[in-house]
Every structure is written in structure tokens, then in C-alpha cells.
Amino acid sequence: MPLIRVEGGKAVVADDGFVSVADDAALPASGGAIVSLKRFQAERETLLGRNAPTGVRLTAAENPEALGDDVHRLSVVTLEFPAFNDGRAFSWARILRTRMGYKGEVRAAGHYIYDQLNYQRRVGFDAWATDRYGVADFEKAFAEITNVYQPSTDGKKTIRELRTAK
Amino acid sequence: MYRYDEFDAKFVAERVAQFRGQVERRLAGAITEDEFKPLRLMNGLYLQLHAYMLRIAVPYGTLSSKQLRKLAHIARVYDKGFGHFTTRTNLQFNWIKLVDVPDILSELASVEMHCIQTSGNCIRNVTADQFAGATPEEIEDPRPLAEIIRQWSSLHPEFVFLARKFKIAVGATEHDRAALLYHDMAVDIVRNAEGRVGYKVVAGGGMGRTPYIAQTMSEFVEREDILAYLEAVLRVYNQDSRRDNKHKQRIKILINAIGVEEMRRRVDREFAEIKRTGSLQLPAEELARITAYFAPPQFEALPDNMPFGDKAFEDWKKTNVARHRAPGYAIATISLKTVGQIPGDASADQMDMIADLVDEYSLGEVRVSHEQNLVLPHVRQRDLPAIFSRLQALDLAAPNSGLITDIIACPGLDYCDLANARSIPIAQDIAKKFADIGRQQEIGELKIKISGCINACGHHHAGHIGILGVDKKGVEFYQLQLGGSGAEDASIGDIMGPGFGEHEIANAVERVVNHYLAVRKDGERFLDTYRRVGMEPFKNVAYQEQMYAAHTG
Amino acid sequence: MAKVQDPQMLTANRLRDGEVLYWAKGGWVLGLKDGEVFADPKAADAALAESQRDVKNNTVVATYLFDVRVADGVIKPVKEREIIRAKGPTVRGEGKQASHV
């Protein structure tokens, strides 16, 4: 599936570099592998010992705090949307970025819609596995609401900050 | 009242453009109805029994005359000439066309109004006491904090896809007129032992299928910490609430499942983290800046000198006029419950004429109460007779605020897709039965609340007498609940038993009321008598006709 | 004895303006009295399936079948909800009753 990333503040098509591996499938010989939390916890040493980057895929019910300090050894954390109206991943993304200080890639997968892209970006997603939306869609989505009231990790100034700057 | 600056204005304008785009994509089929539905709900647009219904936000129940006139205009041009004020102090139009909504939103934006988050699984309209800023009872005006919460919650990126709706209220008085304890979360402005003002936060209240009274999350949150604290509650709710059963996804279910101690522990942990990052701290200057918008108007220096008038005026004064903080002033309630009227409704003409009253007599401001009435918050006592006279001409002068004919009723099966039974005709029947003003005064405070289905938009659980419409094998039946209260003495009404038919329910209510009159002690309201004597005697009289029939049949 | 299925009709809301519609021979009408009554549940199901064409082409939403009874040529829905939906609100008369459909 194509991958869109935000790089340098812009949405770009990116090379994935990772495969998402099922629990019962073999790990790839080379290249990045994204596994479930369960598998990561079971095969942690093997995974981190590979000469390739590792990622973990969390379901909507899984709190990223379960990864602990290991999160800093991951290149990707994928947060799944089982249905677009299941908004738990918005909190998981914020927890990754703020409480856990995670600097790697936070990727959205599963069922989400165009109208959520801006919210996802604001809470800390910076990559989307999607065959539904292209770069133009992302750019349009990000531009729809310029002024925001809440602080977030996208670095956008809040309305309060804009007011004080005047 | 709050005035948009260029940032607020652009925010709303872009939201309108966004929805215009969403409507176009829907009409073109670029998104499905399933995907469009939450988007239109988050702009207040429902598909109801007959047509689309649009719910317009009235933040903390405050409107200017200009805004009220715009609502009248929208009623005329885009609807059928009337609107309905709701139990969350919003306004609903029942006959809206989807294709008109972007233009309606544009018109609303021109007077600093919107429909953002008035529905959907997100944080809803923030409500407050309809007497805010005018009553001498409050510690301070709750509306600045309500406005701050409104801004913080507007398109909050983390909380737009919650498990269910989330309703917040703010209070600042001992006597609660905003039903704080029935909200998902409420902030009560309090003074601590050192005399410092801060915020008590409660959460987990709610109506619906499983009503709950809210429990205390924190006895005292410092002013600067309040947004961090509220965000902590929302985050715990968003991450930990169920997503598998639509009927078990409100915060009241979560708190009751894990217990209030565990909920507090989770919230405190999150709160400590958010506070540590500092990004949500509320500086004193910001609170002061917002508070300045709500500075009391310039009151004239007048002596207290309540005018007298004929019986009609005196009756109205007794119930519909409340004390004001400024000498010589008063708070006047415009009852939208004239006997026989649809509760909470106002025609476009009435709205325009009330707007005139607002300009002439109430310093430009009008309020909506969650009991579906309007309030003129700042009127001079000496203008009360003139105001009353004008209300009489509008047929909005019912002297019944808080009395038995001041009934809360949801739109019910006449309008609502979710309803099982009609509620408006029941409200009208009961009001007609008790129309006599002398009798109403004799009965005193008695809050009847009617819901047409278990979703409880009529707040029947909080009624001194609550009525729930149900569908029993295709026939409308009405269950009675007694002893509910939405005030600071919050309680959930007790279910009496089997329901009454459409033509029986008003009689059953009358038997219940007559029994109250027969056994009450000095000074007891219906609610007090019920709490003293319990359900049994009321149940006996309510069902007495059936029992008589059973004996003799 | 098994419950006998009442005759059915098919209804929807028009997407662009929310107007209540009734299916009639491959299209939609405004008035209940002009709608098609299906005595045979199979025919009702077939109509429901056919009407999905208009869901897909974004003309209507919320299609569903509901029960009616016909007496002396007059169609009466079984459920109160559908009676009100067909006529308009009972408390004001501003709905379909006003446009005499």
C-alpha cells in the first residue's frame, strides 16, 4: 500500500521500507518489519537484534505505554483504525509524542477518512498507509482549518499565541 | 458577551467552507452516507422523521438581539417560521434542506454563530446558569470559564471521535440551575478554605437508558490548571471507554465500571503529565482577558423599588421575576410554556419581537434556559409592567416559571426519528388540566419533564414528576417516575410501575398531585413530600381507577 | 400459527432536502396514498433491492420497509411512527398535511 509521509511540513509519497508481518509469518530476511505488540513482546530480542529497523503495530485497544522505553528503539509505530469512528488512536498518538517523547514515525492504518487527516496530523501522526488518498488530498485537508485553539505537536501556533503575538 | 476576533471569525468561516465541501462531496457520491453522517452531525445536522433537523449552538445560553433576529430570519427563509429551544439551551429547526445548510451556516457565521459540535461523538455545547452575570448568588460569572472551555473543545483534534457524546456544564451558585450533576462533566466554581476561588470537577452524570448522578473527580482544581485537568479526564475517557456497545459508551458507564477511586487515579496521573508539559496552563491574563468580555453592563444607579400592578402582573411577578445583583434591576423569565403552546417553541415573529424587548429593556442580551424558557437578564424593575404588557401581546406571559405547567418536553414522536411516543400533546394536555393559575400557585414548585423515548432528551429522570413515553405493542404508553431532581439535591426519579395510556396519563398526574396536596406539610414542595412519604401512597392513587375496575369488574 | 406478514411499503428520505418519499413502481412519490403496497414479502424485498440504485446514485438515504393495512382502499401504516411520518406532526400540521399529499 502506498505510504504518504509529512516531511519538511509537506505531504510526500514515500518509500515504505517496511513490511507488516502477521503473527504467524516469517520475518523478512532484510528490510524493516512491523509486527504486532504481542509478537514484539514475545520476540523482542530477535527483532531488535536484526540488522534492520523494527516497528510495532498497535490495535485500537492497545496503549503504547505497553512498549515502555523500547519505543525509542522502534522506527515506526502503526496505530490501527478498525473503524473510522473509533478515535482511540488519536489519544495513543498524543501519548506517544508527549508522555513518551517518541520521535520516530507514527503511522495511521486501517479505516480512516479524508476529514480526519488534519486531526491525525495535529495529534502526531506523520505517515499514512493509504490507497485512497494522494498528496493533493493531504495538502487540501491540512489547509482546511488554519486557526486552531489547542496546542499540539504539529507546532502550529494556537489562536491564543497568535493573539498575544499581535 | 463574547465577541469574535479575527481568529475566531476565520475559524468559523473555514469550518463553513469545509462543510460546504463535505456536502458537495456527499451529493456527488465521493463519500458514503456512513462516512458523511458523523461529519454532518458534528455540524448539528440530523436526519429526523420528516426532514433534516439543524441544531444551532447557543453557548452557555447567551444570545444578542442581533443573533436572535438572525435566528428569526433563518426560521422564515429556510424553515417553516418557528424554532425550538432545547434542554441544552440550543435552538433546533425541523424542516431544513441539506443543500441549504452551507448557506445557513454562512448566515450564522455573519452573527458569530455556528452549529459546531452540537451533535456527534464529541464535546457538545457548554451550558451554564441562565441567570449568570445577573444573579447575586454566584461566586463569579461562570460564562468566562464556559467560553474558555468552548474554545478548548472546538475541533479538539484528539477528541472528535469519542465513544459517545460528551456534555459539559459550568456552575457558580449553590442553587444549581444548570443540572451540573447530570452532565458527563461539570465544573463548579467554588471557594476553598483559604478563600481562594477554584474549580470543583465532577464527572459521570447522565440521563438516557441508565441515569447516573455525577461523582467528584477533584474537590479543588486551581484556576491555571483547569484545562489540563479537563483534558486529562477526556483523555482517560477517550482511551478507556468501551467501543463495542453503543449503550455502554458514556463516561458514566466507565466510571461506574472501574469505580470513582480508580478513575481519579487515572485522571490524576494524566493530569500530572499534562500539567508538567505546561502547554495547557491557563495564564491569569488569559482568564482576565476573556472575563473582560463578560464585564457587567453599565447599570444605572437606581433604588430597589419593585412596581405593583393588577393581578395578572402580580401573578407573573411572583414566579417569573428574580432578584438581580444590581439595585433597581431584576431578572425576567419569558415563559415559552403558555398553556396549550408547544413547550420551548417560538415563532419567527415572536423571536423578532423578543429581540425588540431585548434591545429596549435588557441591554441587548437574552438567555436560554435548559428548561426551555428565555430570560431577560438585566431589566430595570420599573420597566417590568411594560415588559409584561408586551409579553401578553406575544402570548408569552404565562406566570408559570417553575410551576406545574412549566413543563419540559422533548419534540417526541411528532418530530424525532428516535422517539417511541409523542410528548408534546401530553405536555399540552397536562398544562390544560392545570391551567387555573390559583391552582398552579397552590401546588407550587413542581417540575414535570417528559421524554418520548429512553434517550431522555426531555430529562424525565430529573423531573419531580417524570414521564417516559414507551411503545407497548404499537400503542403509546406513558410511565411515571417520581422524585427526580436536576438541582444541587440531584436525584433520579423512581419508576412507579406500568404505564398509562395516552388519554389516562394526565388524569394519573392529577391524582398524584391531589394526593400531594392532601398530605403535604407546611412549606413542602411536591418533591419534599415525595421524599418524606415515598412511592407507595402515590402509586396507590395513580392506579386507583384500574384497581377500582379490577375490584368491580 | 405463524405470524402473517402485513402488507409492506417502502420509504426513504430524499438526500438533498430530507423529504419523505414512498416507492411506487420503480420511482418515488411524496404521498403515502400514491405509494406501492406489497402484499408479497418477496416483492417488497425485491423493491428494496431495486431502490438501492437510488442510494448508490445519491438520490435517497435511509430506505426501509414498513407494515401497512389496507381497508376500504385506504392505506394505514401499522406503527404510529409511520402514520405521523406520512401525515406530518400531529401538533402543528405544517408537514405533508399542509401540502395535501
pLDDT digit string, tens, across residues C9-66: 999 999 999 999 999 999 999 999 999 999 999 999 999 999 999 999 999 999 999 9
- Chain B interface includes C84 (CB < 8 A): yes
The domains spanning B6-109 and B142-290 adopt the same CATH topology: no
Classify burial at B73, counting beta carbons within 10 Å of its beta carbon; exposed 0-12, middle 13-18, buried 19 or more: middle
Q: What is the ipTM of this complex?
A: 0.96
Residue among B157, B163, B243 whose CB faces A119 most closely: B157
Whether C and B touch (3+ CB pairs < 8 Å), yes or no: yes
Distances (CA, A) of A88 to A51, A85, B156: 33, 9, 14
Pairwise CB contact (< 8 Å): B414 & C91: yes
Task: Give C42→chain B minimum CA distance, Å.
Answer: 24
The superfamily CATH assigns to domain B408-552 is Sulfite Reductase Hemoprotein, domain 1 (3.30.413.10)
pLDDT at B547 over 70: no
Residue among B7, B155, B158 whose CB faces A123 most closely: B158
C101 neighbourhood in chain B, CB within 8 Å: none
A159 neighbourhood in chain B, CB within 8 Å: 7-8, 11, 151
Q: Quote the pLDDT of residue B318.
A: 97
- The predicted-structure confidence for B247-301, as pLDDT tens digits, reads as follows 999 999 999 999 999 999 999 999 999 999 999 999 999 999 999 999 999 999 9
Please, how many CA atoms are within 13 Å of residue C9, restricted to the half-sphere of its CB?
29
C13 neighbourhood in chain B, CB within 8 Å: 47, 51
pLDDT at B323 over 70: yes
Question: Within chain A, which residues score under 70 in pLDDT?
Answer: none
Pairwise CB contact (< 8 Å): B235 & A113: no
If pLDDT is split at 50, 70 and 90, which confidence band does C2 have? low
Pairwise CB contact (< 8 Å): B158 & A90: yes
A160 neighbourhood in chain B, CB within 8 Å: 286
Contact A77, A102 (CB under 8 A): yes
Residue among C79, C85, C90 whose CB faces B425 most closely: C90
The residue assigned the cell 504518504 is A4
Helical spans, DSSP H, in chain A: 37-42, 44-49, 88-97, 117-123, 135-143, 159-165
Task: Give B67→chain C minimum CA distance, Å.
Answer: 25
Task: Give A69→chain B minimum CA distance, Å.
Answer: 17
Helical spans, DSSP H, in B82-220: 101-109, 143-153
Contact B207, B456 (CB under 8 A): yes
Task: Take residue A111 and report the three cell numbers written for it.
Answer: 479505516
Give Cα B404 to chain centroid, integer Å: 18
Task: Take residue A42 and report the three cell numbers written for it.
Answer: 514475545
Domain that holds residue A101: 3-165
pLDDT at B553 over 50: no
Q: Quote the pLDDT of residue B297.
A: 93
Pairwise CB contact (< 8 Å): A147 & B10: yes
Give the residues across from A82 on adjacent strands: none
For residue A21, which of A49, A58, A57 has the smallest C-alpha distance? A57
Tally A–B CB contacts below 8 A.
97
Q: Quote the pLDDT of residue C98.
A: 87
B14 neighbourhood in chain A, CB within 8 Å: 144-147
How many angstroms separate the CA atoms of A104 and A127, rounded?
10
| CATH of B142-290 given 3.40.50.620, 3.30.413.10, 3.40.1390.10, 3.30.9.10 | 3.30.413.10
C-contacting chains (≥3 CB pairs under 8 Å): B
Please, how many CA atoms are within 13 Å of residue B509, restricted to the half-sphere of its CB?
33
Contact A3, A127 (CB under 8 A): yes
Q: What's chain B's average pLDDT?
A: 96
Contacts of A160 (CB under 8 A, 6+ apart): A149, B286
The residue ranges of every structural domain in chain B are: 6-109, 142-290, 311-394, 408-552
Q: What percent of chain B has pLDDT over 90?
A: 98
Pairing of strands A76-81, A105-110: parallel
The answer to whether domain B6-109 has CATH 3.40.50.300 is no
A-contacting chains (≥3 CB pairs under 8 Å): B
How many angstroms separate the CA atoms of B90 and B113, rounded?
11
The residue assigned the cell 423531573 is B463
Query: Which DSSP letter does residue B244 get?
Result: S
Q: Quote the pLDDT of residue B546.
A: 63
How many angstroms separate the CA atoms of B483 and B175, rounded?
18
If pLDDT is split at 50, 70 and 90, which confidence band does C8 have? very high
- Chain C interface includes B470 (CB < 8 A): no
Pairwise CB contact (< 8 Å): B239 & A88: yes
Query: Which of C6, C11, C15 should be substituted to probe chain B, the one whose Cβ sees the most B Cβ atoms within 10 Å?
Result: C15
Task: Take residue B433 and report the three cell numbers written for it.
Answer: 388540566
Number of domains in chain A: 1
- Chain C interface includes B421 (CB < 8 A): yes
pLDDT at B76 over 70: yes
Q: Quote the pLDDT of residue B198.
A: 98
Pairwise CB contact (< 8 Å): A159 & B11: yes
- Chain A interface includes B277 (CB < 8 A): yes
Listing DSSP states for C5-51 in one string gives PPPEEEEEEETTT--EEEEETTEEES-GGGSPPBSSHHHHHHHHHHH
Chain B residue whose CA is closest to A162: B7
Whether A and B touch (3+ CB pairs < 8 Å), yes or no: yes
A 10 A CB-CB count for B338 gives: 18
Any idea what the Cα angle at residue B374 is, between residues B372 and B380, rounded to 5°?
Answer: 155
Residue among B47, B95, B99 whose CB faces C61 most closely: B47
Q: Quote the pLDDT of residue C4.
A: 85
Residue B349 vs residue A154, higher pLDDT:
B349
- Chain C interface includes B50 (CB < 8 A): yes
Tally B–C CB contacts below 8 A.
74
Task: Take residue A65 and report the three cell numbers written for it.
Answer: 505505554
Give the residues across from B93 on adjacent strands: B54
Task: Give A138→chain B minimum CA distance, Å.
Answer: 14
How many angstroms separate the CA atoms of B97 and C14, rounded?
10
Query: What are residue B476's phi and psi, to 5 degrees?
Result: -75, 125
Pairwise CB contact (< 8 Å): C80 & B424: no
A44-59: burial string, b at 16+ Cβ within 10 Å, e else: eeebeebeebbbbbbb
How many angstroms separate the CA atoms of B323 and B330, rounded?
5
| CATH of B311-394 given 3.40.50.1240, 3.10.310.30, 3.90.550.10, 3.90.480.20 | 3.90.480.20
Contacts of B360 (CB under 8 A, 6+ apart): none
Pairwise CB contact (< 8 Å): B158 & A116: no
How many angstroms separate the CA atoms of B111 and B108, rounded?
5
